[in-house]
C-alpha cells in the first residue's frame, strides 16, 4: 500500500481516521514534521500557517488534484512547497461525470427509487421519459485535463456535440466550439458540466443568471468543487423546474448537503466519489509519495502547484 511505500522512505506517523484534521493537528503537522501528506478535508488556510509560526515542515503534498482547501500563497510565504496529483484522477473523475449525466438525463436515480419503493406499475410507453443524449450538445466549463476527458467521452462515446468555456483555446482532436461566457454556453447546450478548479477565482461561476440562461430541458452536472455553483440558486432552479435536473458529486459545505437538495427528485446526489476506485487512490498516493521523495532527495518535485 501507499502507506507502506511511504514507510520504506520516511519515518511516518499515519493518522488512520476519516475525519478531517483538527486545527491543532494541522498546526502540529506543520510544527513537528518535515513533510505533510493531506487531503481535501484538511483546510490549510492562512490562519493555520500564521498560528504555526516558523514551521518545521517544508512540503505539503496534497492527495488529489484540487487544492482549493490550501492557501497556497500563505504556504509559500511560510517556506513550503505544495504539490498535487494531476493525471491520476482524470479518467475516474470524467467517468463519474458521465455517470451523473446519464443518471440525471435518463432519470436513473428516480427510477431506482420508484422500483425500490414497490410502487412501480409496470412498463408504460411514456413512463419516466428522459433526455436522449445522442446528437445533443454538452457544454464544459473549464477545459483542463478533466474537462477534456469528459468532452472526449461525450463526443466519441455518445455522439454529442461539444462546446466549452476556457481561459485559452484548446487544440483538441475532436470538434468543439469555444464560447466566451458561462451564460452563452449555458444557453447553447443541453447538458452543462463544470470542471473548474474551485476556490476564490471560480467561486459561483454558475450563478442564478447562468442557471436562468439554461434551457428548461437542460441538466447541470458538477464534479468539480461545490463552490463553483451557487448552491442556493441551483436548488431554487430545480425546485421551480426551471431546469430539468442536476447531477452532483460535490457540495459547498461537504459533508453537509442541504435538506432542500436531498428532498429533490430531479437531483442525483453522490458523496464525492470522483476518484473512489482502488487503483486510482493508489496512484494518487504513489504520486504524493513521489513528490515527497523527490523533494527530500533535493530534486525538482514532479507536481508543484
Residues serving a catalytic function are: 225, 254, 272
Alpha-carbon separation of residue 148 from 109, 155, 170, 196, 245 (angstroms) = 26, 10, 9, 12, 23
Are 211 and 235 in contact by the 8 Å Cβ rule? The answer is: no
C-alpha cell at 88: 491520476
Nearer to ligand 8YV, 155 or 272 (CB): 272
Nearer to ligand 8YV, 37 or 131 (CB): 37
If you ran DSSP here, which 8-state letter would residue 123 be given?
-
If you ran DSSP here, which 8-state letter would residue 89 be given?
T
Rounded CA gap, 113 and 129, in Å? 15
- Contacting residue, 274, 291, 292, 303, with ligand 8YV by CB under 6 A: 274
Question: How many helices (DSSP H) and strands (DSSP E) are in the chain?
Answer: 13, 10
Tell the smallest beta-carbon distance from residue 198 to ligand 8YV (Å). Answer: 8
- On the question of a cis peptide bond just before residue 2, with omega within 30 degrees of 0, the verdict is no
Are 102 and 133 in contact by the 8 Å Cβ rule? The answer is: yes
Nearer to ligand 8YV, 5 or 91 (CB): 91
Under the binding rule (CB under 6 A), the answer on residue 275 touching ligand 8YV is: yes
Tell the smallest beta-carbon distance from residue 170 to ligand 8YV (Å). Answer: 20
Are 283 and 63 in contact by the 8 Å Cβ rule? The answer is: no
Are 104 and 245 in contact by the 8 Å Cβ rule? The answer is: yes
Q: Which of residues 212-271 bind ligand 8YV (CB under 6 A)?
A: none
Count of chain residues binding ligand 8YV (CB under 6 A)? 9
Nearer to ligand 8YV, 130 or 247 (CB): 247
Q: Which of residues 109-128 bind ligand 8YV (CB under 6 A)?
A: none
**Which residue carries 473549464 as its cell?**
142
Are 94 and 150 in contact by the 8 Å Cβ rule? The answer is: yes
How many residues in total does the chain contain? 305
Tell the smallest beta-carbon distance from residue 29 to ligand 8YV (Å). Answer: 15
- Residue 104 C-alpha from the chain's centroid: 17
Tell the smallest beta-carbon distance from residue 49 to ligand 8YV (Å). Answer: 19
Nearer to ligand 8YV, 37 or 81 (CB): 37
Q: Which of residues 20-79 bind ligand 8YV (CB under 6 A)?
A: 39-40, 63-66
Tell the smallest beta-carbon distance from residue 67 to ligand 8YV (Å). Answer: 8
Nearer to ligand 8YV, 64 or 130 (CB): 64
Rounded CA gap, 232 and 16, in Å? 34
Tell the smallest beta-carbon distance from residue 225 to ligand 8YV (Å). Answer: 7
Give the footprint of ligand 8YV on this chain (CB under 6 A).
Answer: 39-40, 63-66, 89, 274-275
Amino acid at each position: 500500500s501507499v502507506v507502506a511505500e511511504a514507510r520504506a522512505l520516511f519515518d511516518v506517523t499515519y493518522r488512520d481516521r476519516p475525519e478531517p484534521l483538527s486545527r491543532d493537528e494541522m498546526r502540529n503537522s506543520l510544527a513537528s514534521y518535515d513533510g505533510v501528506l493531506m487531503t481535501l478535508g484538511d483546510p490549510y488556510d492562512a490562519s493555520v500557517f500564521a498560528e504555526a509560526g516558523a514551521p518545521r515542515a517544508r512540503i505539503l503534498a496534497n492527495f488529489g488534484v484540487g487544492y482549493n482547501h490550501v492557501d497556497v500563497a500563505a504556504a509559500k510565504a511560510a517556506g513550503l512547497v505544495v504539490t498535487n496529483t494531476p493525471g491520476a484522477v482524470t479518467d475516474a473523475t470524467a467517468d463519474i461525470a458521465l455517470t451523473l449525466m446519464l443518471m440525471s438525463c435518463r432519470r436513473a436515480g428516480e427510477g431506482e427509487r420508484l422500483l425500490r419503493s414497490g410502487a412501480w406499475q409496470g412498463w408504460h410507453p411514456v413512463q419516466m421519459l428522459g433526455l436522449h443524449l445522442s446528437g445533443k450538445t454538452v457544454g464544459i466549463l473549464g477545459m483542463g485535463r478533466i474537462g477534456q476527458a469528459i468532452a472526449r467521452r461525450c463526443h466519441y462515446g455518445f455522439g454529442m456535440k461539444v462546446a466549452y468555456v476556457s481561459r485559452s483555446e484548446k487544440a483538441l482532436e475532436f470538434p468543439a466550439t469555444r464560447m466566451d461566457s458561462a451564460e452563452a454556453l449555458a444557453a447553447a447546450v443541453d447538458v452543462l458540466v463544470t470542471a473548474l478548479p474551485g476556490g476564490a477565482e471560480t467561486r459561483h461561476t454558475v450563478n442564478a443568471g447562468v442557471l436562468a440562461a439554461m434551457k428548461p430541458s437542460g441538466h447541470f452536472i458538477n464534479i468539480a468543487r461545490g463552490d463553483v455553483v451557487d448552491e442556493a440558486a441551483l436548488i431554487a432552479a430545480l425546485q421551480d423546474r426551471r431546469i430539468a435536473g442536476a447531477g452532483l458529486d460535490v457540495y459547498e459545505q461537504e459533508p453537509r448537503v442541504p435538506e432542500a437538495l436531498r428532498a429533490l427528485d430531479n437531483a442525483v446526489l453522490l458523496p464525492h466519489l470522483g476518484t473512489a476506485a482502488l487503483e486510482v487512490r493508489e496512484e494518487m498516493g504513489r504520486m504524493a509519495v513521489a513528490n515527497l521523495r523527490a523533494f527530500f532527495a533535493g530534486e525538482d518535485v514532479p507536481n508543484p502547484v
